[in-house]
Amino acid sequence: MPAARSKSASPKARNRGAREKLLAAAGELFYKHGVNAVGIDRVIAKAGVAKMSLYHHFDSKDDLVAAWLQEKHAAWMSWLVERVERVPVNNRPRELFAAMDEWFHTPDFKGCAFINAAAEAKDPRSKTFQICTGHTSDLHNAIKGWIAASHPALGADSLALAAQDITMIVAGAITWAWMHGPDGVAERARHSALLVLHEAR
Amino acid sequence: MPAARSKSASPKARNRGAREKLLAAAGELFYKHGVNAVGIDRVIAKAGVAKMSLYHHFDSKDDLVAAWLQEKHAAWMSWLVERVERVPVNNRPRELFAAMDEWFHTPDFKGCAFINAAAEAKDPRSKTFQICTGHTSDLHNAIKGWIAASHPALGADSLALAAQDITMIVAGAITWAWMHGPDGVAERARHSALLVLHEAR
DNA sequence: CAACCACCAGACTGATCGGTCTATTCCCTC
DNA sequence: GAGGGAATAGACCGATCAGTCTGGTGGTTG
């Protein structure tokens, strides 16, 4: 969750970093209000950046949206992976839901940016939509890795199915936590997921 | 799923039904493209109705959106209830997922209109958002009723929790089916839900 | 017949949309 | 110190946004 603010993404670090400011502002606004509800002018105002700087770094609004989602995807996944994989392999499935619980209680939590963005995408073939489905696919793969490590006896098929089940449970929990509040949601999801996992063979 | 086309909603049935045409057109467009991506002009063009007729029946676009969601909520719930409750009580939990599977494979399926609309709502206190959360709450209650009938030994607390678990699983399945395609998704969700149900006490 | 009412077509408003263009300034590197 | 690239402010474009207003049509009802 905490934003990784380490090094400039620009190859040469001599500019004043309009790109980073744009991505940060766009991220906040798009996540909070939705992609279609936020105009270019509002983004550049929040970023404190000229409009031409935006179109210098990005081809279009869609391109900015895609870049934001790409970045967010990388940040979110690496946060989760780091968070989950610092506990022993056997505890990782439960740790996933501890991480979810923490995330759900973040002050600015507004559900899954990728599910939300996918809901606004005009075309399933758009880059935006592809990134969104890629996000859930990557999450599915990460979960598969974790339960493979904690349940080495599972065959490849059961593994993929159990991982899908758990990914769907996580997706439902995120949606529920956003719409009805975060309390206890991750705990319920963990309960369901561990049942699935326990029963897998 | 099939639209209930029975009687005119207007108290006096002598008009030509611009309101119904508007709700039908708005429903199609809003569900398919998202609320914020569809303008008033497109709605009235599709409905074949004058702009003033829209503002005669609805106060604003938000009001039209709310009316559409209300109507859709009522239609969807009554479809599901009718579908599930025509099988014996013991089969109703599984029948829920048979209904989901059928719905997921509908040609124009684009996920849950209420989850999608909630993602676009500008304010959690808006009427739109309230209808969306109300929708999932009503679904939760319906599920609670079904598992109460099929598992009469369950206490009130376990009942509510199990129903929440299953509602979250359904929500996750809807999202997954929309983003990754409908095949087999309901089957996986049913599997998880029946585990939850079997283990509830 | 006259009043009424739902409905129609379409012009119009002010704001905002995504995006382009010009002109200027700053700073870094040859 | 000259050149170049990244940044700036802000005017401008046509399109579209939600919403208003005028004026007219046709059918129903008193």
A116 shares a domain with A31: no
Higher pLDDT, A147 or A6: A147
Strand D: list positions under 7 Å from protein Cβ: 6-11, 16-23, 27-29
Asked if B120 and A119 come within 8 Å (Cβ–Cβ), the reply is yes
By C-alpha distance, the chain A residue nearest B198 is A195
The pLDDT value recorded for residue A11 is: 33
A41 shares a domain with A133: no
Q: How confident is the model at residue B7 (pLDDT cuts 50, 70, 90)?
A: very low
B110 shares a domain with B186: yes
On whether the CB atoms of residues A111 and A26 are closer than 8 A, the answer is no
The pLDDT value recorded for residue A6 is: 31
B3 in a structural domain: no
Q: Give the CATH number, domain containing residue B116.
A: 1.10.357.10
B163 in a structural domain: yes
- Look at residue B54 and tell me whether its pLDDT is greater than 60: yes
Give B-chain residues touching A136 at CB under 8 angstroms: 176, 179-180
Q: Per-residue DSSP letters for A73-103?
A: HHHHHHHHHHHHTTS-GGGHHHHHHHHHHHH
B103 in a structural domain: yes
Residues in chain A: 201
Please name which of B30, B113, B115 lies closest in space to residue B65, comparing C-alpha atoms: B30
On whether the CB atoms of residues B181 and B112 are closer than 8 A, the answer is no
Task: Give the C-alpha separation, B131 to A26, whole Å.
Answer: 28
Q: Is A134 on the interface with B (CB under 8 A)?
A: no
As a whole number, mean pLDDT of residues B117-122 equals 94
Give B-chain residues touching A34 at CB under 8 angstroms: 36, 119-120, 122
The pLDDT value recorded for residue A201 is: 83
A8 in a structural domain: no
A123 shares a domain with A104: yes
Among A2-11, A189-198, B18-27, B65-74, the range scoring the smallest mean pLDDT is A2-11
What are the pLDDT digits (tens) for A30-87? 999 999 999 999 999 999 999 999 999 999 999 999 999 999 999 999 999 999 999 9
Strand C: list positions under 7 Å from protein Cβ: 5-11, 16-23, 27-29
B100 shares a domain with B25: no
- Look at residue A14 and tell me whether its pLDDT is greater than 80: no
Counted across chains A and B, CB pairs separated by less than 8 A come out at 120
Residue A123: partners with Cβ closer than 8 Å, 6 or more residues away:
A129
B138 shares a domain with B70: yes
B79 shares a domain with B19: no
B90 shares a domain with B42: no
* Closest-lying nucleotide for B50 based on CA to C1': C8
Average pLDDT, chain B: 92
What's the structural domain count of chain B?
Answer: 2
**Domain span at B23:** 15-58
On whether the CB atoms of residues A158 and A123 are closer than 8 A, the answer is no
